[in-house]
Amino acid sequence: MNNGLNTLTIRESLEGLRNKEFSSVELTRACLDQIKKYNSDINAFLTINERAINEARRADEARENGSDSPLLGIPIALKDMFLTKGLRTTAASHVLENYIPQYDSTVVQKLKDAGAIILGKTNHDAWAHGSSGENSDFGPTKNPWNKEYVPGGSSSGSAASVAADMTIASTGTDTGGSIRLPASFTNTVGLKPTYGLVSRYGIIAMASSLDSIGHFTKTVEDSAIFLNVTAGNDPMDATTTKNKIPNHLEDLDKGVKGFKIGVPKEYFTQGLDSNIKKNIEGAIKKFEELGAEIIEISLPHTEYGIACYYIIQPSEVSSNLARYDGIRYGNDRTRFGDEAVRRIILGTFTLSSGYYEAYYKKAMQARTLIRQDFEEAFKKVDAIISPVSPTPPWELGEKVDDPLKMYLSDVYTVIANLAGIPGLAVPSGFIGDLPTGFQILGPQFSEKLLFRIGHAFEQTQERKVLEK
C-alpha cells in the first residue's frame, strides 16, 4: 500500500530520515510501488534497478552508524544516457538495447557516494534527439498531467517520473533545451548548468560542445541540494571547471529586491503563444512586486540561434555516433531510428568538403556573436527571464511528421547552450490542465543567483501536486 512518501521533496525526505519518521527502505519502496502502478501508462522508466531495496537497506544501516551524506537514502532516477555499472544503459535506442556498462559515469558515482539510491533508468528520445519524448525506440513517454500530450524532450521520462512522484528527483541532459522544456511541460524544476560545471564523463555524448548535465526536482531548493553533489572538477573531463564550487543553498532566502532582471524584446514577438505570453507577463509582474527592477534588453542575434544550433549540433552528432559500428559493442547501424539517421546525414553534409566553410564555420561565427550578446546584456542586468517553449505541450503525434516544426520548439532554449550559460526552468502555473513555466538565464557559473531568483518566485506560488 502506498504511504505517500514518494510525494516528498529531497528536503522533506532528508528531514524525515534524520528524524527516523520512516526509513530509506520505506521511501524507496513507495517510489517502486508508484512505478509499478503507473509506468505501463506513462512509460517513464525503461529499466528498474533490482538492487534498489538492498541499496536502501545499506543506506539505513549507514545512517544508524552515524553517516549523514548529502543524499543518504534518497531514491533518484537516471536518464538512460548515464552509464551505470552492471545496469542496462540503452540511450533509448535499439542499437544499445542490451548494453551493460563496465563503469559508472562521474555523476552517477558522485550520487552514489552521496548516498543516493538508484531506482532505474528513464526513457527519452533516442540518443537525446528530440523535443517531445516520441523518438524513443521503446515508445513515447506520456505527460502525467494529460496522457494525450507530450511531456517534452529529450529528457521525457526523467521529467515525467518526478511529476508522477515515481522518484524524488532525477537526472537529465540538456543540449538545446532537453531539461528545461520537459520541466516546463510537467510542472517540475529543471536545471541546465553552465557548460563545464558538471562532468560529462560516462554520459553518452550527443553534441559535445553543447551537452550540459543537469537534473529535475520538485522545488528550487532541491535543485540546489542536488547541484551541490554533482558540480565540480573531474580529471576525466578536461572541460570541467577548476573554480571553487559554492554552497548553492546559501542566500536562497534573501529575495530579489534591487535585482535587475532583463526581458529580451526578441523573445516576445510573433510566434509566441498568447497564453504563454500572458503567463510570463504575470511572472514578470510578480518579480516587480518582490522588488526587482524589470529592464527591456536586446539579444540581436537571437534570430540566428535555431539555424546556428541545427548546423553545429548535427555535425557533432554525426561525429559522436560514428563509434557505434556494432563491432565492439551494441547492434549494427541498421538499428538507428529515423531521427538519428536524419541528424547523421545533416551533420555529415555540413562537415563535408566544400560545405564546411559555407555552413559549419559560419554557424560557429554566429555562435560567438550570440555569446557576445549575453555578455553585453549581463553588464546591464543580473539575470534574464524568457519563455521556455513558444507553445504549451502539444498532442502526441502532432509534430512527428514535421521535423522542422519540432525543431522550432527549441527556439528559446538553444541559445543558452550556444552561449554556455546556465538556465533554470521554474513552473509558473497551468494553461487549462497543462503545466507551463519560464526560464531564468544568468552569466556563466551564476547558478546560486538563479536559485535565489527562482526560489523567491516559487514562494509566491502554491505547488500543485498531480492527483491520481
Q: Which of 154, 161, 212, 386 is catalytic?
A: 154
Active site residue 158: no
In angstroms and rounded to an integer, the radius of gyration of the C-alpha atoms of the chain is: 21
To the query of whether residue 136 is one of the catalytic residues in this protein, the response is no
Is residue 156 part of the annotated active site? The answer reads: no
Residue type, 81: M
Reply yes or no: is the peptide bond before residue 156 cis, omega within 30 of 0: no
Please give the DSSP secondary-structure letter assigned to residue 205: -
Round to whole Å and give the CA distance between 132 and 134.
5
Tell me the DSSP string of 254-283: S--TT-EEEEEGGGSSTTS-HHHHHHHHHH
Residues 6+ apart with CB under 8 A from 278: none
C-alpha cell at 18: 534524520
CB 53 within 8 A of CB 39: no
User: Between the CA atoms of 452, 171, 246 and 284, what dihedral angle is there, to the nearest 10 degrees?
Assistant: -20
Strand partners, 441: 384, 423
Distance CA 117, CA 23 (A): 13
Q: Which of 161, 178, 184, 223 is catalytic?
A: 178
The separation between CA 161 and the C-alpha centre of its own chain, rounded to angstroms, equals 12
How is the chain split among helix, strand and coil, in percent rounded to 5? 40, 15, 45
Sign of the Cα pseudo-torsion (190, 196, 197, 199, in order): positive
Asked if residues 164 and 38 have their Cβ atoms less than 8 Å apart, the reply is: yes
Q: Quote the distance between the C-alpha of residue 249 and its chain's center.
A: 20
The C-alpha torsion from 440 through 445 and 448 to 451, rounded to 10°, is: 20
Q: What is the DSSP string of 408-422?
A: GGGTTTHHHHHHT--
* List 79, 110, 121, 142, catalytic entry: 79
Kindly list the catalytic residues.
79, 154, 178
